[in-house]
Amino acid sequence: MKAKLERYFIILYYFSIGAVASALISFKNEYFWRIFSYYLFPQVTILLILLIIKANRILLHTVAIIMPCYLYLFYVWTHKSNDGAMGWLIYFYTIPGVAFGILVVNKYIIIEKIKSSSVIIISTVLSYFIGGFISFYILIKIT
């Protein structure tokens, strides 16, 4: 019972980091809940996929921390430049590449039986940004 309760608190922790980051950057107007859900949906989706496939706990912690950071980088970029809404489209189009990169790293961790925290963290961060870059590159080539 205690292990199950601990798992629920960890899942709540994963989602709360993304929810706080999404709430902080959402506009505080009548469209708050819609914008908040747009920001939070990709994070929740990727975390749920990782929870369903029972990913490594260190990988989950890293993803739970880096996804709000990635969201905040796009927030800074779109608000400091004139890209505005088009920048957010790039954020949404890079999420599939990010998810694919994380799933590849998860499979690599399982196959190679990696136990080192630093290797898992570095490979997760690299796969996150490389997957996002590849999705962005494909988007640029298509359009």
pLDDT (tens digit, 9 = 90+) per residue, 4-28? Answer: 777 778 778 888 888 888 888 877 8
For the stretch 50-64, pLDDT in tens is: 888 888 788 888 888
Distance of CA 117 to the CA centre of its chain: 19
Query: For the residues 69-90, what does the mean pLDDT come to?
Result: 75
Residues 6+ apart with CB under 8 A from 138: 97
Angstrom CA distances, 13 to 18, 63, 65, 72, 115, stand at 9, 12, 10, 18, 23
Render pLDDT for 22-55 as a digit per residue (tens, 0 to 9).
888 877 888 888 888 888 888 888 888 888 888 8
Cα separation values, 89 from 5, 16, 21, Å: 38, 24, 18
What is the pLDDT, as a whole number, of residue 75? 82
Looking at every residue in the chain, the average pLDDT score rounds to 81
In this predicted structure, the answer to whether residue 1 has a pLDDT above a threshold of 70 is: no
Instruction: Reply yes or no on whether the pLDDT at 85 is more than 80.
Output: no
